[in-house]
Each structure stands twice: as C-alpha cells, then as structure tokens.
Structure 1
Amino acid sequence: MTQINGFGAYQNTMLQKMQSKQKADADETVKKAKEQEKIRAARNQRSDKADKTEATQDTEVKLSDKAKALLDELKSKYGNMDFFVADYSTEAEAQSYLSRGTKEFSVLIDPATLEAMAADEETKTKYTDMIDKATSQLSEIKDQLEEDEGTEVKRIGITINDDGTMSMFAELEQISERRREAIAKEREARAAEAEEAEKKAADRAEKKSAEDAGEADQGINAAEADPVHRGRGPQGGRELPEFMRPDEKVKRTVVSADNVEDLIAGIKNVNWDEIEAEEVKPQVGGRFNFSV
C-alpha cells in the first residue's frame, strides 16, 4: 500500500510539472504572438500612410516622433555602430543597406520593428539585449580569430528581423604570413616606443625640479611624448605599412548566419584556398563591402 501511495504521489508531481511547463510554453507563445501583432500593426499603419503619398525608391522612411527619439538614443548609446532603418524583403536588400556602414558594426532595423520598440519598453529591451549580446560575443572573439585562425573580421552587419530573430554578416580578410609578421613588428615597435618615452620622462623628473620640469615639458617633442603619432606621413596620416601598399593582394569573403555561434563557426570554416586574391584598393564612401 505504501508503494502504491508513493507511486501515486510521484505521478501527481510529474503531472504538475508537465502542466507547469505547458502553461509556461503557452504563455511564451502568447507573448510572441502579441509582439508580432504589434509589429504587424505598426507595419499596416505605415502602409496606410504610404498609400496616401507618392513613394519613390529614395523616399526617406517616415517614423513617428517616438521612433525617431529611440533611433537617436540607439546612435548615442552605441558609438561603434551605424544604424539604418529601412524596409527590406531579401538578404541582398539588407546587405545593400549594411554596405553603407563605416563603423565596426552596422545594424539594420525594419521600420515596423523600430516603431514596436518605441511603443513598448519590453520589446525595446528584448532587441537591445540581443544587440548587446551579439556585439559583446563578437568583439571578444575577433582578436582570437586573428591570432588562431589568421582571419581578420573587418566589419559586422546585423539585421533585426520582424519575427524576433537576428541575421548577421561578417566581412572577412585573410591575414597573410607577411602581414602577420608586419603586425607583430609594429606592435613590438609601439611597445618599445612607449617604454622609451616612459623612461625618458622618468629621467627628466629625476634630474629637474618640479618648476623646471613644468617649463621643459612645453618643449618636449610631440613625437617623443606621444609614440602613437610617430611614423606619420607628410599629410599627418600614418604611413601605410608595407603589407597594405597598393601592390599587395588580399583574400576577402563574407559569411552570414542567424546567430552568433553559427557565424563564428562559419568564420572558422572558411576555406581560403578556394577564394581568389584581389588587389588592395582604396574604398570610397562606405567601407562595408558585402558584394564579395
């Protein structure tokens, strides 16, 4: 009898757990449905307004004051990102917008999604958390990819989709052995310059009084005081290292994925032997080239 009662209690416990999980899944489904409804409503409202005015391909996206304020907030918060708001239906369209970016990350948001974010704090938090997580993970992995895989992540494009998902594109460039050596030498040179400047500053502090040191500091050569500015060209810009001269050829490609993990895996699985090298050419306007 005790065993039967024990088994009955076990069944009741499992039934309660299963019911709790079903309820949680149902609540999550309802929550997602509400988010999609908000986005669809915002899109329908935009479509109604668009029908009343003539539209051309270059027509600026019409946003509510709240959406404009949110866009300004995002641009201010994320200084290393370019934000684009546009309607798009294909990956090629998304890439055409992202190609205009000039910063480390480029983010493309559907207008209806931006409106939904502006209207609901929970929706806004959901998408900004997605951006934070993706950019944080990718920033951490970039140096590792450069050292371990010989791959430089030049720029990253992110699209916020209206179904609550995210798509990503990474523009990659192979680091040749010659370039690796040049990068290592430049790092060593910068470290030596910084150490030398620090040593000279310490020597001056020991030899001169505080008053004399204050006067002498005004005459310190700028290149000596700030080693980062040494080795610049006649126009004030840093001279191009040998591996970046116009006669150098590099291999470039683009990898896309629907999440950070798959993007990183795709980057690591790039077969550079199958990619043709191209000459280094100055890029005009946007630096993000997804047309590879």
Structure 2
Amino acid sequence: MVGINGFSSLYNQYDAGKLKKDKTAERTEAVQVKKTETKKPESTENKLTDKGKDYLKSLREKYGNYDFIIADTKEDQDALAAASDKEVSVMISSAELEKMAEDEEYGNNRLKQMEEAIEMSKKVTEELANDPDRADDVGLNKITIELADDGSVKLFAELEKSSAKQRERIEANKEKAKEEKKVEDKKEKIDKYGKNEEQRQRTTVEASSAEELLEKIRGIDWSSVPYDEIKTGERIDFAV
C-alpha cells in the first residue's frame, strides 16, 4: 500500500516524466517546422532522362546568356529564378522539357516562342529607357520567361528602386540637393555605428505580352512596395 506521501512522490515523478516528454515533443515539432520553413528550392534536372539531359545541355550551349531552370512547382521555379545571377531566366518543367526533347517540331516551336518573348522583353527595355516619366532610380533587374505545360508563355519582369541610384541623381544636381535630400533620408538608414545601409524596393510583374508588361510596370505603386537592406557587395543591375 502506498501512503499519501508515497503517492505524491510517484505522481510527481510521473508528472515530471510527462513534462519532459512533452518538451521533447515540442522541440521535435519545432525542428520539423523549421526544416519545412527553410526547405531549399529543388531543381528536377536530376530526374530527366538521358535524352532530356542532352537536350538541356544543347539549349545551354546555344543560349549561353540565359539561365534554364528546370523545376516542377511554382514555388521552386520562382525561388530558383530569383537566385539566378543572369538577366534572363527560362523556366520549364521537367515534363515539358522531355516533351520538347522527344518531339523536334514541338521543341522548335516552343523555342521560337521563347525567342519571341525575349524580343518582347528587349522592346520593353528600350521603351522604358526612353520613357521620360520613368524615375531615374528605377531599373529593370531581370526578365524571366515561363514555358508553361499548357503551351502558353508568360513574362515576369523584376524591377528595383534603390537609394544608391537616387543618391547619384541627387549629387548630379546640386541645385536641388536640399529638396531631394528629404527623399534620400527616407530611403537611407544609418545604423548605430554610423554606417550607411543601402535600401531598395523590389517587385515583380507578370504579363503575356510586351504591351501588358509595359502597362503593369508603369502602373506600379512604389509607395506600397516594402524596403529591404542591400548587403555589402551584393550585385545590383540598373541597366535598362
């Protein structure tokens, strides 16, 4: 027979053991959640057949300035395109690439669509460069083309507005420096060590034609686009 004190001791041991298990379970769940949140984007190149891999290799040799991204989910495609250091990226699913590799005529038609989309992006670049209403501190960062499984083509333009570019404009016009300094101060932050930290705004617009892309770019409301800090040495391309 267990006395009151003995029962209390056993209960406390049970309670402590249960608490330990609960905390262990919580830590395990937290680790699993963290792993899910930090999941790296996945390319499906390694799942291609030998014929598909050879076809992809030929595309990269022919179009050396473009980054061909093979991924099967929208999230993976977007993440891999965002990480690309090339000005033009082409997103294709593994199934679509295999179809292009298997059917030469179909593949050539899709490549023609891709080339037409690239020409459209060049047209957009030229029109933006000659647009008097375009702010000097806004640049076209990169173009991404999606050859979708349904045969359609989509254009994605990533635009960037930077405090660094803005400062160049301010310094080039000393007479307006006082007025424009107010704008500069809003887009520039000084950390506690007195070091300047560049800031930028980035946004992406999607379209299926050059006209639609231009319209959407001109309609961007930069006041609703959040800022993020630019790490030292990070590449920024303002060429348009």
TM-score by length of 1: 0.50
Extract unaligned runs of 5+ from structure 1. 1-56, 185-242
Partner of residue 87 from structure 1, selected from 69, 72, 76 = 72
1:155 has 2:138 as partner: no
The amino acid across from 1:70 in the alignment is Y
The amino acid across from 1:165 in the alignment is S
Partner of residue 91 from structure 2, selected from 85, 108, 120 = 108
Distance 1:280 1:83 in 2: 26
Distance 2:206 2:161 in 1: 17
Q: Shift of the alpha carbon at 1:116?
A: 1.1
Identity %: 33
1:73 has 2:58 as partner: yes
Q: Shift of the alpha carbon at 1:179?
A: 3.6
Partner of residue 127 from structure 2, selected from 122, 126, 144 = 144
Q: Shift of the alpha carbon at 1:104?
A: 0.7
Distance 1:287 1:82 in 2: 18
The structure 1 segments of at least 4 consecutive aligned residues displaced by more than 4 Å after TM superposition are 57-60, 180-184
Q: Which residue of structure 1 lines up, in the alignment, with residue 9 of structure 2?
A: none
CA separation of 1:183 and 1:107: change in aligned 2, threshold 3 A: farther
Distance 2:89 2:79 in 1: 11
Extract unaligned runs of 5+ from structure 2. 1-41, 174-187, 189-194
What is the RMSD computed on CA atoms of the aligned residues? 3.2
CA contact 1:97–1:108 (8 Å) conserved in 2: no
CA separation of 1:114 and 1:183: change in aligned 2, threshold 3 A: farther
How many residues align? The count is: 170
1:54-69 to 2 correspondences below 5 Å: 61-69=46-54
1:204-243 to 2 correspondences below 5 Å: none
CA separation of 1:263 and 1:67: change in aligned 2, threshold 3 A: same
Alignment partner of 2:84: what SS?
A: coil
Q: Which has the higher helix share?
A: 1
Q: Shift of the alpha carbon at 1:60?
A: 5.2
TM-score by length of 2: 0.60
Q: Which residue of structure 1 lines up, in the alignment, with residue 212 of structure 2?
A: 262
The amino acid across from 2:148 in the alignment is N
Distance 1:58 1:170 in 2: 21
The amino acid across from 1:69 in the alignment is D
